[in-house]
Structure 1
Amino acid sequence: MKRILILGAALAGLLAAPAQAQSPDTLLNASYDIARELFADVNAAFVARHPGKTIDQSHAGTSRQARAIVEGLEADVVTFNQVTDIDFLVQNGFVTDDWQGDFPNQASPFYSLPSFLVRAGNPKGIKDWGDLARDDVKIVFPNPKTSGNARYTYLAATAYAKETFGGDEEKVIAFIDKVFDNVPVFDTGGRAATTTFVEREIGDVLITFEAETRGIAKEFGEDKFELVVPSVSLLAEFPVAIVDKVVDKRGSRELAKTNLDFLYTPEGQTIAAERGHRVNDPAVKEKFKDQFPEVRLVTVEDVFGGWEKVQAEHFASGGLLDKIYGER
């Protein structure tokens, strides 16, 4: 079995990565910041079924990854955590605009939701989004300007506020502004935020994908942390796509498709579920149902009118996120 290489997240490292592979038997998967362990497992299983193939990994915030690809990172496939970053690749001619029809479930093999990780005993009694605006609560999540993970947190908190305040925009903005005020440091990506919370012991609650909260507790000690699922959260899909401009140049399209198809197989779905992701395969979903508590999930489409509208109103230059974040 050939090596499975996990590359560093620094942009210089991304551009210098051995991603410009000379052989179509080697792929580079550009993925999101906290997916290292997931894809280490996925790639090992994939290579075991496809001897002689090599899957290299690159990890960073997905917005950063998308920019790196446009600037020269030759990733054959992307496994991101928000649609807008793949749309950025579409706009720049790297991915075809019908990419969501290439794989099932709108090209999202598994899903998760923004959730909370608190310290053992939950000393601050944090149960729901409303607690994040309290004066005595310090929150850790990454910078929404660079992290898809954090954008889901921002949108989930906004969705909660819209419901709580009956759509009163002034109250919604004031709530989000207070939440941002309670963040002592904005790291660039989800893994750095985890380090801040777990190793530097900063903050009362870490907000990240539910899958990550499970992994942290398992790795660092379930006696040290508690998982808290809020009353409502936002469906977080994990879209995948073939980077057409790269695979056509390298002749790696067949392997790229086979690699992403593997995520939808029972084996791929089982690995995702074991790593704390909610999956769509009926048999695998049933097997792991006791692992995932019930939660009411809202969608970007239902609350915000879709990703295109979210991008224009919240994430574009001069949008609502800029106005809130710019006041920090």
Structure 2
Amino acid sequence: MTFRGLAALMTLAAIGVSLAISGCTKKSSNSQELLHVSYDVTREICTAVNEKFIKRYEAETGKKLTIKQSHGGSSSQARSVIDGLKADVVSLALWIDINAIAKSGLIETGWENRLPNESIPYFSTVVFVVRKGNPKNIKDWPDLVREGVEVITPNPKSSGNGKLSFLAAWGSVTTRGGSEEEAMKYLTDLYRHVPVLESGGRGATTTFLNKRIGDVQLAWENEGYLAVKESKGEVEIVYPPVSIRAEPVTAVVTSNAKRKGTTETAEAYLKFYFEPEVQKLIAENFFRPSDPQVAEEFQEKFPPLTMFRVTDISKGWDDAQTRFFSEGALFDQISKLAAKR
């Protein structure tokens, strides 16, 4: 091949590379993809919100949007993001789970104040799901430790549902005048009644509904209503007199979003959760909306009960994590005691 021929070939190759890059750029500029990493019992609400947001986004921008979902135990999901799962946004059951991601450097400090209501789009609580007719007559927390009662609840080490159920049980003692020693004894008795610890809330529902293990499941309120629907009335919900106020939080994973060029879309997506239209959708899916007007509109949908916050039983989430769930802390101590039946 002559030098002129080689030069011409190189020019054609350069043009081809340029066209390929141009084609990729054009494709990416007309489409975006978000990865939303969430906890175990939000599959249905995320699917419903995604559908609405995608329609608006495409109508307003003319761009195609894909939102992929990942679900699992809240603490396990946080660890996956820290270990490299390229989430654009996270919505997790507990403040400590998102804050753990922030401590890793993936989320900018001050993330709680970047969205309305301290980044809490809705709240929930822990309820009892029992077999049809409530044959074990379960009405309050002490009923869970009666002889012959089996309780299904997830592992607090991996699951937000598990942590919240533990704290709800603890607070059911201490916020009603009981001592921490009495709470310790009650939790030890409670976990003696737990035949299996699933890794997340949806796994616990599968164990309770499909495998028909247990007499009562400690579940998110929305998960309880889903269980009633899926079982076609074979289970029902019992509201204990007192339970914990669960406040899931959400944030843009700023480091990943900046690298992927999705920051603007990710921020718009999370702000969408706070709009009245979506707040109503949230209420229809049995999460309690943060918007006061929407909450008032749907108040008859949610039976009243006394809800305490984590600050009523600890100094805050960091303290709760250290006291109850860190290595060798109260949950580990209780687990060892409970194993000595």
Q: TM above 0.5, one fold? A: yes
CA offsets, 1:53-98, max 9 Å, x none? 1111000111111111111100000011111111111111111221
Structure 2 partner of 1:8: none
Structure 2 partner of 1:314: 324
Structure 1 partner of 2:188: 177
Per-residue deviation, 1:326: 3.8
Superposition map of 1:61-76 within 5 A: 61-76=73-88
- Counterpart-to-counterpart distance in 2, 1:326 and 1:85: 25
Alignment of 1:202 with 2:180, yes or no, is no
Per-residue deviation, 1:133: 1.3
Structure 2 partner of 1:254: 264
- Counterpart-to-counterpart distance in 2, 1:148 and 1:119: 24
Alignment of 1:40 with 2:47, yes or no, is yes
Deviation larger for 71-80 or 309-318: 309-318
- Counterpart-to-counterpart distance in 2, 1:147 and 1:93: 23
CA offsets, 1:84-136, max 9 Å, x none? 11111111111122111011111110000011111111000000111111122
Per-residue deviation, 1:286: 2.4
- Counterpart-to-counterpart distance in 2, 1:104 and 1:167: 36
Alignment of 1:110 with 2:117, yes or no, is no
Unpaired segments ≥5 residues, structure 2: 1-27, 59-63
- Counterpart-to-counterpart distance in 2, 1:175 and 1:230: 16
Per-residue deviation, 1:284: 1.9
Q: Does the Cα contact within 8 Å between 2:152 and 2:196 map onto a contact in 1?
A: yes
Structure 1 partner of 2:168: 156
Alignment of 1:86 with 2:95, yes or no, is no
- Counterpart-to-counterpart distance in 2, 1:307 and 1:163: 17
Bigger share in helix: 2
- Counterpart-to-counterpart distance in 2, 1:325 and 1:46: 43
Structure 2 partner of 1:132: 144
Alignment of 1:215 with 2:226, yes or no, is yes
Q: Does the Cα contact within 8 Å between 2:123 and 2:246 map onto a contact in 1?
A: yes
Per-residue deviation, 1:31: 0.3
Secondary structure, counterpart of 2:127 in structure 1: strand
Structure 2 partner of 1:282: 292
RMSD (CA atoms): 1.4
CA offsets, 1:126-164, max 9 Å, x none? 001111111221100111111011100000000011134
Per-residue deviation, 1:26: 0.8
Q: Does the Cα contact within 8 Å between 2:175 and 2:312 map onto a contact in 1?
A: no
- Counterpart-to-counterpart distance in 1, 2:187 and 2:135: 23
Aligned counterpart for 1:234 among listed residues 231, 244, 248: 244
Alignment of 1:168 with 2:175, yes or no, is no
- Counterpart-to-counterpart distance in 1, 2:325 and 2:234: 35
Secondary structure, counterpart of 1:235 in structure 2: strand
Secondary structure, counterpart of 1:304 in structure 2: coil
- Counterpart-to-counterpart distance in 1, 2:313 and 2:329: 17
Aligned counterpart for 1:192 among listed residues 196, 200, 203: 203
Secondary structure, counterpart of 2:313 in structure 1: helix
How many residues are aligned here?
305
- Counterpart-to-counterpart distance in 2, 1:294 and 1:228: 12
CA offsets, 1:265-320, max 9 Å, x none? 11211111111001122332222111101111100112212111111111111211
Q: Does the Cα contact within 8 Å between 2:175 and 2:313 map onto a contact in 1?
A: no
Alignment of 1:97 with 2:104, yes or no, is no
CA offsets, 1:14-72, max 9 Å, x none? xxxxxxxx777110000001111111111011111112111110001111111111111
Per-residue deviation, 1:207: 0.7
Alignment of 1:30 with 2:40, yes or no, is no
- Counterpart-to-counterpart distance in 1, 2:311 and 2:71: 27
What is the identity, as a one-letter code, of the residue corresponding to 1:95?
I
- Once the two structures are aligned, what percentage of the paired residues are identical? 40
Unpaired segments ≥5 residues, structure 1: 1-21
Per-residue deviation, 1:167: 4.2
Q: Does the Cα contact within 8 Å between 2:120 and 2:290 map onto a contact in 1?
A: no
